[in-house]
Amino acid sequence: MSPLQQEWTLLQQQHEQYERGALLIKLAGVTLFALGLAWRLGPHWLGLVALLLWVQEAVLKTYQARIGARLLRIEQGLLSAAASDRQDLAAFQLHSEWAASRPGGLALLAGYARSACKPTVAFPHALLLLASLALILR
């Protein structure tokens, strides 16, 4: 197995781990919301917990996206190497590539916000926030 194939295998496993982590954050949010309702916590607290978990998942998904970008580069490199029988992409460069393209503070926060707005990340957090708001307004 080539170094790029090894790297792809490792990063793919990590990409899937991030996906499982995101699912656990969603499940924790729903569970904590239900427990909070059962314990009659104030809707402000329920909304705050939902918001914090939403932000946490957005950060996690942003990290996952970095791995995904590297996976795509590796796949293109492997495809090019297979087509031309040469290799233009060095293996094990995830952090070097990220450091070279890392955005500054506000751009990094904007990246987290973009991740948070993706429907697969926003669900169920946005619904839990809306439910909290509905409880506050009633």
Percent of the chain with pLDDT over 90: 71
Whole-structure pTM value:
0.81
| pLDDT tens profile 75-102 | 888 888 767 766 667 787 877 887 888 8
Cβ(77)–Cβ(8) under 8 Å?
no
DSSP collapsed to 3 states, 67-111: HHHHHHHHHHHHHHHHHHCCCCCCCCCHHHHHHHHCCCHHHHHHH
| pLDDT tens profile 14-47 | 999 999 999 999 999 999 999 999 999 999 999 9
User: What is each CA distance from 61 to 17, 65, 93, in whole angstroms?
Assistant: 11, 6, 20
